[in-house]
């Protein structure tokens, strides 16, 4: 069944005529994603790889019946693009754009509270249900169909770990990159219940990193609600206090958000935590055999 996206998902691409939008649209189409329209103000009536382009999201949704949008626009336009997608009543919006100001993200969160729309991102790689649909920029070769659900804050680790698992013969039901910004849309706490209810997912791999409290909040849910086994990996064990590492949300302050505190919380919740990146495959294999 997969979560968030599958072979029935119908997608529009906001920013389809830009370089990244055009490039990634071709890759998603080649993967088999059902892209039914694109949005680029002032370019309605054109097409990109046979995909019709509309001036507004509202027009695209009315004409195509799309339920999902992916956003490839510069940061200065992303706030308006996300709000336009929310106001059009889409089920899922995937925002790839990085560098969106925190205040804009706060305003987006406020708008989400009164809508039915789920937001994945910003600053995320998207999601893939292998051989069903890909909405994002995840590299195709790294994934294969299977019964392990993956949710991750780090795009790069998502690709690396998934490819290692795929080479080891461990496929995935759905892989979700939630992004590393301080205020993402969907969080670990939102994705875990979806995997818990998914008939095609037998176990879940949670890939976290330093900064914030998302992993601790996930641990609280796992301890009381998850019946499926959860494997964890936390990056950043050697990160120095007070130093930002990569993502905007990956910063340790006041002794909070350390890899050690996250690992402890997950282990207390019954999660099997891999000691290092190289141990992830063997840890997953022991759980799923």
Catalogue the active-site residues: 247
Contact 247, 236 (CB under 8 A): no
| Main-chain phi, psi angles of 193, to 5 degrees | -60, -30
Contact 139, 166 (CB under 8 A): no
CA distances from 271 to 205, 222, 223 (A): 10, 8, 9
Q: How far apart are CA 264 and CA 256, in angstroms?
A: 12
Token pair for residue 195? 């995997």
Contact 95, 121 (CB under 8 A): yes
Q: How far apart are CA 22 and CA 28, in angstroms?
A: 10
Token pair for residue 236? 């950043």
Closest CA to 74 of 14, 25, 161, 124: 14
Token pair for residue 89? 């009543």
Chain centroid offset of residue 36 CA: 21
Residue 228: CA count within 13 A, CB half-sphere: 24
Q: In 127-182, which residue ranges form alpha helices assigned H by DSSP? A: 155-167
Contact 206, 231 (CB under 8 A): yes
Contact 228, 271 (CB under 8 A): no
């Amino acid at each position: 069944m997969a979560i968030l996206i599958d072979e029935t998902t119908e997608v529009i691409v906001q920013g389809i005529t830009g370089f990244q939008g055009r490039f990634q649209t071709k890759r998603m189409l080649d993967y088999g994603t059902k892209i039914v329209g694109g949005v680029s103000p002032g370019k309605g009536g054109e097409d990109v790889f046979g995909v019709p382009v509309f001036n507004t999201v509202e027009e695209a949704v009315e004409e195509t019946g799309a339920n999902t949008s992916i956003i490839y626009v510069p940061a200065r336009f992303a706030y308006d693009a996300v709000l336009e997608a929310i106001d059009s009543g889409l089920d899922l919006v995937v925002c790839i754009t990085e560098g969106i100001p925190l205040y804009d993200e706060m305003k987006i969160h406020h708008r989400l509270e009164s809508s039915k729309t789920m937001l994945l991102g910003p600053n995320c790689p998207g999601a893939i249900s292998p051989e069903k649909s890909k909405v994002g920029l995840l590299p195709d070769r790294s994934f294969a169909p299977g019964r392990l659900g993956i949710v991750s804050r780090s795009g790069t680790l998502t690709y690396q770990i998934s490819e290692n698992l795929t080479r080891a013969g461990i496929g995935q039901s759905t892989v979700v990159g939630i992004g590393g910004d301080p205020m993402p849309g969907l969080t670990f706490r939102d994705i875990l219940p979806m995997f818990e209810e998914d008939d095609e997912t037998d176990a879940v791999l949670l890939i976290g990193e330093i900064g914030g409290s998302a992993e601790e909040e996930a641990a609280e849910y796992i301890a009381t609600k998850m019946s499926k086994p959860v494997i964890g990996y936390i990056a950043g064990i050697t990160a120095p206090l007070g130093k930002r590492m990569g993502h905007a949300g990956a910063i340790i302050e006041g002794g909070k958000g350390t890899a050690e505190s996250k690992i402890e919380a997950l282990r207390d919740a019954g999660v099997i935590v891999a000691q290092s990146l190289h141990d992830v495959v063997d840890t997953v294999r022991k759980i799923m055999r």
